[in-house]
Structures are given as C-alpha cells and as structure tokens.
Amino acid sequence: MRRSFYHYLMTQRSPQRDALSNFANDVFTDSSFPKHTSDYETLSHYLEFSVDYLSSMDIFDQAYQQYLDNNQ
C-alpha cells in the first residue's frame, strides 16, 4: 500500500532549517492538514487557500516530486 504524502513528509522533519524540513515541521503542527491523501490537487488546494506557513508553492511542488520519486 502506498503511503500518504503526509506520512512521507513526516520523514523529512528535522531540526535543520532548510525549506523542506521547515515545511514538514509546520505540517506536523497543522491539525487540519489532509493526512490521508496523496492527491496533488487536494493537497495543493488546501495549501494555497488554508495555510499561511508556506512561503512558496515551489516548496510543496519539490516535496511532492520527491514523494513521487520515492514511491515508485
């Protein structure tokens, strides 16, 4: 079974302060994040319209591509 994007992103949490780990750390504290989906459109819509912690959707796009590459 394929893991959700949230599950993948939690593996990227780190005290390091790069864009991906900051995104993962912020998602961890977001209780409304859609944790059980891997659908790009659902995740993108949520991040674009419901959060203020993501400074650029490019960070999400890069993380999502890494997620896809990791789950092939």
Tokens of residue 59, six digits: 């960070």
Structure tokens at 47: 């991040």
Which domain range does residue 38 map to? 5-70
Mean pLDDT of 2-21: 93
User: Helix, strand, coil: what percent of the chain each, to 5?
Assistant: 60, 0, 40
How many domains, in total, are found in the chain? 1
CATH code, 29: 1.10.150.260
Model confidence pLDDT, tens digit, residues 31-67: 999 999 999 999 999 999 999 999 999 999 999 999 9
Would you state the pLDDT for residue 17? 85
Nearest to 30 by CA among 47, 48, 45, 11: 47
Q: How many other CB atoms are there within 10 angstroms of residue 71's CB atom?
A: 11
Q: Supply 26's token pair.
A: 């912020």
Local confidence band at 9 (pLDDT 50, 70, 90 cut-offs): very high
pLDDT recorded at residue 72? 74
